[in-house]
Chain A
Amino acid sequence: MALPSHISAAPVSAGSRTPVYALVGNPNCGKSTLFNALTGLKQKVGNYPGVTVEKKVGTAYSQHGQPITVIDLPGTYSLAARSPDEAVTRDVLLGRRSDTAQPDRILCIVDATNLERNLYLVHQILDLGRPVILVMNMMDLAAEAGLNVRVARLEKELGIPVIACEAVNGKGLVELRVAMSRSDLPLARHAWDVPAPIAPAVSELAASLVEHDRKLPLIARAEALLLLTDQDSVRVAGSTPLSPRTAEILHGWQQRWAAEGTDWAGTLVNSRYEAIGRIASEVVLRAGTVGPSLSDKIDAVVTHAVWGWLVLGCVMTLLFISIFTLAQAPMDWIGTHTALLADWVKSRMPEGDLRDLITDGAIGGVGSVVTFLPQILILFFFIGLLESTGYMARAAFIMDRLMSRVGLNGKSFIPLLSSYACAIPGIMATRTIEDAKDRLVTILVAPLMSCSARLPVYLLMIAALLPNDRVSLGAKVGIMLLMYALGTVGAFGFAWLFKRTLLKGAPPLMIMELPPYRLPGLKDVALQMLERAGIFLRRAGTVILGISIVLWFLAAYPKAPAGATPTQQLAQSFAGRAGHALEPVIKPLGFDWQIGIGLISSFAAREVFVSTMGVVFNAESSEENTAPLRDALKAARWPDGRVLFTPLVCLSLMVFYVFAMQCMSTIAVVKRETNGWKWPVFQTLYMTGTAWVLSFIVYQTGHALGF
């Protein structure tokens, strides 16, 4: 086959600088797994589409020890980007990103079980005229599915190196590194010619892109093809608008084709599919008729209209039972040793402010948050396990029935699900949503999902609300499930409201690929847990420590006259005065000024409420032996002697934290993702306003009923 004139057969050398490889492929074909395997990094991986929404960069090493830069790009089905994450991939490959070098070479990873569909993107990438290595991943799953994928045949058809690989098991990596080390990677034997009637349009547009838009010739041809196959030229142009002359040429061709009544854009796409179909039929051989796979059989149950919900309920219940039971022993250990450390410091230092700062501020504040580390780890172990096996995509499938009724985009599920861990990656994951209004609705409701920072607050309140010796495990799990359900129902309710008022739009359809079930990658799950532990402890040792120290000062100064009780000291301190100032607003919710101090400080981050309670109530305690925080809360009283943390107050407080927008980092990310302050301010007001109203209803109703 003759090579098109725009493609040179000359060997390519990356030159003296570190060669840059872009790693691209369809969603959920194993890009991040391969990226981690090549670079030794710990980029998040998951068995569902849309895990990577931004480019990630790492360094791999060739067989000769030379460094190679690898850019992991978000998954996309084609270069015709329809969502912000896909636009990242397109823009990096087309050299439009000012912050990223245009890749010298491209590692294109395909799912061997779905070769024909994956080849569309490969085909478009070959148009870029850069050296490409094709990585045929999931060969083991293809074999299980009865597919014989002829790698050598594909290599011959495309004229580029094709490496069979099982990234998750590390198979094929040596061969891939050897291929990446080659300085003379061959260019593709281009297996597709533009249909003759369209060729003049491509040539004219490409020439204009070179002349008027300063594009490189090969990039210009690829861009011309994209522009001619997509009606929305503004979206294709992205951040680099077309020059007037190029736009005029494009418009001219579109008008000419419209007048002729021929869908040349469709013809262009179809001719590409025909070429792909021809290759796929040569390369993939099916071994007879294959019955339903194990994944299909499991899906019949877990995506069933009734059984699916039952399975989801069981999974969530199991998660919370584990959180309450498995974590108890390590939590007690941490709590005991934190108290021992504080007592040890007290026994070694004379009385004074520095001693109080260390014991009540630093150890009391940080210790009360670190106690919840085991439960956070169990939460992330379960999330990692469910992501790794592929169950999360099934949960998205059954939730879609509910989500579509409230007008939420099916693609909103993954962002909402990620928000159970932390709202920030959840909000970033909304980049996979094409429609701007749907994306904004998802951003607005994502922080309502109960994130891991709320977990310590819920657990502390449940511990204060329900003493171990009197209440069953079932009641605790039930309350925890209720809080998570309340946040989820709240998110759906507000999504329904926003879609009918502020952000009206047609109900979206969900198209989501269900990945095959896989055995959980325990190494990845363990790495994610360790990463989370590191983040949690780093946060406790930096931000929470800093806030606890400042809070200790605010609770200890100005000094009360000699002989004042700890409560009197706290009441007239800076923190106490702020709490007293807030008390009229929060008293109808059942909260006093001490809880008010916690509400103010936890605007920085929700878990700071726990450390604040640690500082406030340990500062108030006159006992030499530091009491566990939950006991200190149970002992807290109103000035008239009434118990402060009654079950009703604990419930009211939990409801407040389900809805209140108390996370500065989330506000900052919403500002970035929405390009302004309007939506984060609106979000903070509507969430915190709702929190107040619902807490008010809970407390006043409970109070009226005699609780």
Chain B
Amino acid sequence: MNPQFQSFAALVVVALAAAWLVRRSLAKKKHPGCGGDCGCASSEVKAAAAKIARP
């Protein structure tokens, strides 16, 4: 792996990471909040909540 290829690959990884972070911060959440980071509701509970809908 020559240095030029390493630089190119590193920049691709950086661009992907930046795009993911931007997308994550701009994404409109159905239930905005902690996004599960704080543990106030487990992911299983959130997944189950998505199943129930008003008939």
Interfacial residues, chain A to chain B (CB-CB below 8 A): 17, 20, 39, 41-44, 54-59, 69, 71, 97-101, 349-357, 421-422, 424-425, 428, 528, 531-532, 535, 539, 543, 545-547, 549-550, 552-553, 664-665, 668-669, 672
* Chain B binding surface SS class: helix
Given known A100-B52, A424-B37, A549-B17, contact A353–B45 (CB-CB < 8 A): no
Task: Give bound CA distance, A352 to B42, whole Å.
Answer: 41
Distance to closest chain B CB from A305 (angstroms): 34
Whether B55 and A17, one on each chain, are in contact in the complex, defined by CB atoms closer than 8 angstroms, is yes
Contact flag A546-B17 (CB < 8 Å), given A352-B3, A665-B38? yes
- Residue contact B55 to A43, C-beta cutoff 8 Å: no
Residue of B nearest to A545 (CB): B17
A357 to B1, CA, bound (A): 14
The answer to whether A668 touches B36 (Cβ under 8 A) is no
Of all chain B residues, the one with the shortest Cβ separation from A97 is B54
Q: Taking A353-B6, A539-B37, A668-B32 as contacts, is the C-beta distance between A101 and B45 under 8 angstroms?
A: no
Q: What are the residues of chain B within 8 A of A39 when measuring CB–CB?
A: 48
B 21-38 to A, binary, CB cutoff 8 A, 1 in contact else 0: 100110000001111111
Partner of A354, one of B9, B36, B42: B9
Contact call B25/A664, Cβ cutoff below 8 A: yes
Given A422-B38, A669-B33, decide whether A353 and B54 contact each other with a Cβ distance below 8 A: no
A552: which B residues are within 8 A, CB to CB?
14
Please name 12 further chain A to chain B contacts, defined as beta carbons within 8 Å, in addition to the given A97-B54, A531-B42, sorted by A numbering: A20-B52, A41-B42, A43-B41, A44-B39, A57-B52, A58-B44, A353-B7, A357-B10, A424-B37, A552-B14, A553-B11, A668-B33
Across the two chains, which residue of chain A brings its CB closest to B36?
A: A535
B6 surroundings in chain A (CB, below 8 A): 350, 352-355
How distant is the Cα of A41 from the Cα of B44 in the complex, in angstroms?
Answer: 7
Assuming A20-B52, A354-B1, is B42 touching A546 (CB within 8 A)? no
Question: Interface residues of B toward A: which range?
Answer: 35 or more
Smallest beta-carbon distance A237→chain B, Å: 20
Q: Given that A101-B52, A535-B37, A668-B32 are known contacts, is A352 also in contact with B45, CB under 8 Å in the complex?
A: no
Closest to B32 in A: A672
Whole-angstrom CA separation of A425 from B5 in the bound complex: 46
| CB–CB A425/B52 < 8 A | no
Q: Tell me which residues across on chain A come within 8 A of B1, comparing CB atoms.
A: 349-350, 352, 354
The residue on B at minimum CB distance from A423 is: B38
- A550–B15 Cα distance when bound, in Å, is 8
Q: Do A669 and B34 touch across chains, with their CB atoms under 8 A apart?
A: yes
On chain B, the residues within 8 Å of A41 by CB distance are 42, 44-45, 48
Which A residues are CB-close (under 8 A) to B48?
39, 41, 57-59
| Chain A residue contacts of B21, Cβ below 8 A | 543, 546-547, 550
Collect the chain A residues with CB atoms within 8 Å of residue B9's CB: 353-354
Given A354-B1, A357-B14, A549-B17: A99 and B54 interface contact (C-beta under 8 Å): yes
The closest CB in chain A to the CB of B34 belongs to A424
- Chain B neighbourhood of A98, CB < 8 A: 54
> Hey, which chain A residues are within 8 Å of B34, CB to CB?
422, 424-425, 665, 669
Q: What residue in chain A is nearest B41 (Cβ atoms)?
A: A56
Query: CA–CA, A628 to B14, complex, Å?
Result: 25
How far apart sit A99 and B49, CA to CA, in the bound complex (Å)? 10
Q: Chain B residues with Cβ under 8 A from A20's Cβ? A: 52
Which of B5, B10, B36 gathers most chain A CB within 10 Å? B10
Q: Which of chain A's residues have a CB closer than 8 A to the CB of B45?
A: 41-43, 56-58
